[in-house]
Amino acid sequence: MKKKFLILSALLSFFSLPTFAKAGFEFGLGSGYVFYGDKATRDKNDLLSDINQIVLATDAAFLIPANDYVIFSLGGDGVFDLRWHGSDHIYLIDYAFLAGFRVYPNFGGLYASIDYALGRRSDFYSIENKDSSESTKWGNGFKIGIGYDFSYHLNSIAPEIFASLKSMPRGGTRDTLFCVSLKLTKHK
């Protein structure tokens, strides 16, 4: 049985090499807003009254073309909700592994995407010299998006504008993350 599995794995790897040889990539930075579903998280965030806040969204993916209209993607993203006031701070870091596809309806570089997301959130608090950290359980969610890819018909690196909505369950609650980003993308 092991020998059959190894032979099958070797054949699949061999036949998928041309597909991966045509793979592209993307990397993006942006910002957004997070709607926290857990009341305990919202209450902890309210502990800092007059705060400074930055929400930084990052993502990276490999793009594997199936044909001219469908591209599979494998990657990950992170949303860093950083809040501070003086020496007190709250850092909420959402991260996920993504697998999905994009559909280009032949309107230039316009596309729609949907991804399966496997992720969690890690929280770090330091308020009045009391430090704590905790992480949610891993959850299965999804990410939908729409974008315009200027590199779609080019063979060079070009910018891409992307907006997404990610819904992530958190063990009885659900966080919703809305992000807009500017990416650098290269096909083939």
Does residue 169 sit in helix, strand or coil? Answer: strand
pLDDT tens for the chain, residues 1 to 188: 555 555 555 545 544 545 555 788 999 999 999 999 988 888 888 877 778 999 999 999 999 998 889 999 999 999 999 999 888 999 999 999 999 999 999 888 899 999 999 999 999 999 888 899 999 999 999 999 999 998 877 778 999 999 999 999 987 889 999 999 999 998 77
Which residues, 6 or more positions from 107, have their beta carbon under 8 angstroms from its beta carbon?
Answer: none
Residue 186: predicted pLDDT: 87
Residue 13: predicted pLDDT: 54
Give the residue among 25, 47, 45 at the shortest CA–CA distance from 35. Answer: 45
> Which residues make beta-bridge pairs with 157?
none
pTM for the full model? 0.85
Residue 17: predicted pLDDT: 46
- State the Rg of the chain over Cα: 20
Which residues, 6 or more positions from 128, have their beta carbon under 8 angstroms from its beta carbon?
Answer: 88
Q: Cβ(57)–Cβ(181) under 8 Å?
A: yes
Which residues, 6 or more positions from 182, have their beta carbon under 8 angstroms from its beta carbon?
Answer: 28, 29, 30, 159, 160, 161, 162
Residue 9: predicted pLDDT: 59
